[in-house]
Amino acid sequence: MSSETQVRTPYPQRNLLKIMWLVVAWSVVALASLEFLSIAYQKYTQLNAGSYGMFWTRREWLWTHIGGGALTVLLGALQFLPQVRRNWPRVHRWIGRTFLLAMLIACVGAVGLILTSPAPDAIRTAFGATALAWLVTAFLGYRAIRRGKVDVHRRWMIGCYLVTLAPITFRALIRIPGMMELASPMVMIPTLLWLSWAAPLLVYGLGVSLVRGMQAQHGPSGRMLRSDPGVESA
Ligand code: HEM
């Protein structure tokens, strides 16, 4: 093994742990997303008032919203495959553009649904905030890549995908035993709608800051930097 390779992978077991953690995390996300999409598919492919419930009179908005939304969930997941990014950058770019278009379509549907919704203001505001967070994270990610800032782009697009997963996270949150008993639904629903994207963004942001802080101290490979004499000599 060359000394260059040794520098790049000083802790193979750490890389293996990272890969295992990523595989587990993505499997959970993929299963939850597929479950969410299949429930929506089963419910709304039956064209009758019973299946659609409160969406029956505004089903055009719902179709626009789900059509675009389902595409973003599926396309967004593909963007995280490192092989695609590395070997087919043009495919990555086109998937990215299609993702943004689908997101805009889903947002048009979401705005239509919010404006026609009989839900209380607190719920409609929470949905509006989610849509805004979606647009802002996507805009910042797109602007970063147009300026050639790949790392910043990656971070904002991960944030954007966390917002994309908000309905799936929301569904997971309301299924936590006892969660909906904490307060009345009129309090819990808007609170969980906010939390479904704000909490993942916050955790991710804190994680990034923590890793960057550690890298600044120890270097990207995890080894102490020479410019940290006090710790190195300890
Ligand atoms: C992240 C930004 C999103 C916002 C702001 C948003 C907003 C909304 C709104 C306002 C409604 C109607 C709720 C009501 O009238 O009570 C709704 C319903 C729905 N949305 Fe989204 N949504 C988002 C993402 C997504 C995504 C990515 C999907 C994936 C397919 C999706 C799938 C659905 C489905 C299936 C429904 C019907 C809910 C049900 O069957 O109970 N949404 N969404």
**Percentage of the chain exceeding pLDDT 70:** 88
At residue 119, the 3 state secondary structure works out as coil
Atom index in ligand 1 nearest the CA of residue 114 equals 10
Judged by average pLDDT, the poorest of 79-93, 97-111, 138-152 is 79-93
Q: Ligand 1: residues within 6 Å at CB? A: 37, 40, 43, 65-66, 69-70, 72-73, 106, 110, 113-114, 117, 119, 127, 130-131, 134, 163-164, 166-167
CB-CB neighbours of 43 under 10 Å: 13
The torsion angle over the Cα atoms of residues 202, 170, 111 and 93, rounded to 10 degrees, is 60
Q: Which pLDDT tens digit goes with each residue over 88-120?
A: 999 999 999 999 999 999 999 999 999 999 999
Q: What is the mean pLDDT of residues 113-131?
A: 97
- DSSP 8-state class, residue 178: T
Our CA angle for 195, 208, 171, nearest 5°, is: 25
Judged by average pLDDT, the poorest of 11-20, 68-77, 124-133 is 11-20
Every domain of the chain and the residues it spans? 54-118, 121-221
Distance (Å) from CA 62 to ligand 1 centroid: 8
Amino acid at site 226: R
Which string of b and e fits 191-213 if b means at least 16 CB within 10 Å? ebbbbbbbebbeeeeeeeeeeee
- The closest residue, in CA terms, to atom 25 on ligand 1 is 69
Instruction: Judge whether residue 56 has pLDDT over 50.
Output: yes
Distance (Å) from CA 113 to ligand 1 centroid: 9
Provide the CA 172 distance to its chain's centre, in angstroms: 14
pLDDT band at 220 (very low <50, low <70, confident <90, very high): low
The torsion angle over the Cα atoms of residues 9, 12, 16 and 22, rounded to 10 degrees, is -30
Distance (Å) from CA 91 to ligand 1 centroid: 28
